[in-house]
Every structure is written in structure tokens, then in C-alpha cells.
Amino acid sequence: CKVVWIVDPKQRHVTEFRSETLIRVLTVKDRLAASDVFGDWSIEVGKLFQ
């Protein structure tokens, strides 16, 4: 698996797992992207919660 996203609507953030040790928490001001999986696709995390 290349990337796993857990979307938490209550906390309004996305946790991104790229490995067991490479973990990021993205907030509404961050941009969610996975160019290695989806090419040029990306979205502002805040738009997920509108």
C-alpha cells in the first residue's frame, strides 16, 4: 500500500500514513495530494468538510 488516509470529520483533519513511521496529520489549511498514486490530483483538506 502506498498511502492510507483516515478522515476525521469530528476533528476536521486527515491522518496520512505512508509507512509505519511516516505519518502526517493534515489540517483544514493543508492540501491533500498523492502524486505517486493520483497524478496531479489534490484537494484542500478544508473542502472535505464543507
pTM of the model: 0.86
Residue 38: per-residue pLDDT: 84
Provide mean pLDDT across the span 39-47: 94
Provide mean pLDDT across the span 31-44: 89
Residue 22: per-residue pLDDT: 95
Grid cell in block for residue 22: 511516516
Q: Which residues contact 8 (CB under 8 A, 6 or more apart)?
A: 14, 15
* pLDDT confidence bin for 16, thresholds 50/70/90: very high
Residue 39: per-residue pLDDT: 87
Q: Which residues contact 11 (CB under 8 A, 6 or more apart)?
A: none
